[in-house]
Structure 1
Amino acid sequence: MNYPSPLTSAASSTLRGLLAAAVAEGYHKIGQAVFKPDAEGFFLCHAEDVGREDLEIFHNPHDAAALAINDDAGNYRPLKTGPNLKHGWLLRVASLADLHLALDLLYPAALANWRSFLRNEKIASPLRDTVNRQTGMYRVTGLITDEEAQGIVDSLCSPGCLRRIQWPIPSDAEPPLIPTKEKEIPLLCVDACSLLIAEARRVVKARLGK
C-alpha cells in the first residue's frame, strides 16, 4: 500500500508527529481499538463498541494499561496484540500526548514499528536467524524445518495474534508483503515472540522423540 506523503514525511519526525499526521489523514483504528477526535479531545473504545451508550467511562490515559490486562471473561492476556481486547469501556483523553500514551499502553511499540516501516528501515530478522541464536533449553529450535515453522505460523500466529509478520522464515528470503487496511495503523510483528519459540521447541522435540 502506498501511504499518503504527509505520513511518509512525518515518519522522519517524532512518534507524536507521526500520530498527528495519521489523525489528520483520517486514521482511526489500531488493532481492535478505534480512536477519534471529539469536542473533548479524543476518545478510544473497542471497535465493536462504537455507538454503545452503556460503556464505562475512563479519563486517565494510564487506564489503558489496566484495560489491556484481561479479556471479557477476566482471563489474563499474555499477548497485548491478541484478538481478545475486552469490550465495555470508553476512554476519553484531552490531548494528542494522552492519546499517544494510551495507544502505546494498549499496543506497545506499534507506532515505533510503523514509523520504522514507513522509513523503509530493516526492522525484522528472518526466523532462521532468530532460532539459530537461541541457547540453553531453546537451542534445539535451530533444528526446526521451514515447513514446521510455517505450520506454527498458520496454527499459532494467524488465529492468535493481530500483528502482521515482517520476518521471512529462511535467511535468504525477502520480507513478506504487508497487507494494510484503509486508515488503520498496522500492528507489525518484527521478531518471533516467546510463544512461537516455545512452540518451535515443542515441535522439534516431538519430532526427535524427546
Structure 2
Amino acid sequence: MQDSLRTQTWGDQAIRDTIAAIAQAPEYSRDVGQSLMSRGLRWLWQQILNFFHFVSETQYGREITIALVVIAIALVIARVIIGVRADQLARRPINMRGAGAGGAIQITDAEQLAASGNYTAAAHALFSSLLAAGAARGEFRVHPSKTTGDYVADLRRRRTDWLRPFQSFRSRYDRVIYGDMQCSAEDYQALMSDVRQMMARG
C-alpha cells in the first residue's frame, strides 16, 4: 500500500515540459493583439491600484480618494449631459429660411456665432443652413430622425456633386459634435471650407 501511495519525484525538465504543454493547449492560446491588450489593461489597472494604495497611506488619503471619485463621476455626468444636448441640437427642426434663392447656403448666422467665439453653436448653425439649402435644392428631404449618414446615403443615390464635400463635412461634424463635443476655431474653419465647396457647386 505504501509503495502504491509513494509520491513520484519530478525532475526540473519534466516540470518545464508539463508547463509548456499546458501553455500550448488551445484554451490557453491567444493571438498577439489580445495578449498585448490584456497586458496593457493589466498594467494600467495595476498602476491605478498602486496610485490609490500610495494615496491611502498619505495623511489625507481618504479625502483625496473621495475627491478623485467625485471628480470622475462629475466628468462622466457632464459628458452625458453634453452629449444629450448636442443630440438635441442636431435633431432640432430645421429653419427652412436658412436657404436662399435657388437653395443657396446662408451662412450669416454661423459667421456671427463664430465671430463671438461660440464655434460649437456656429457648427450647429452651419449644419442647419446646409440641410435647409439641400432640401431647397431637392438634394434630400429633411427629417428629425435622420442622421448625417442618412443624408450621405440620399446624396449617393442621387449621384450629386454635393456628395464628396458633404461626406467631408459629415466626417468633421460628427467628430466635433459627437466625439470631441466642442468645436474649435480650426474645426469651424474646416467645416466652412467644406460648405464653401458646396456653395461653389451652386
TM range (shorter): under 0.3
Length-normalised TM-score, structure 1: 0.21
Q: Which has the higher helix share?
A: 2
Greater relative contact order (Cα 8 A, min sep 6): structure 1 or 2? Answer: 1
Length-normalised TM-score, structure 2: 0.22
Q: For the pair shown, which has the larger CA radius of gyration, 1 or 2? A: 2
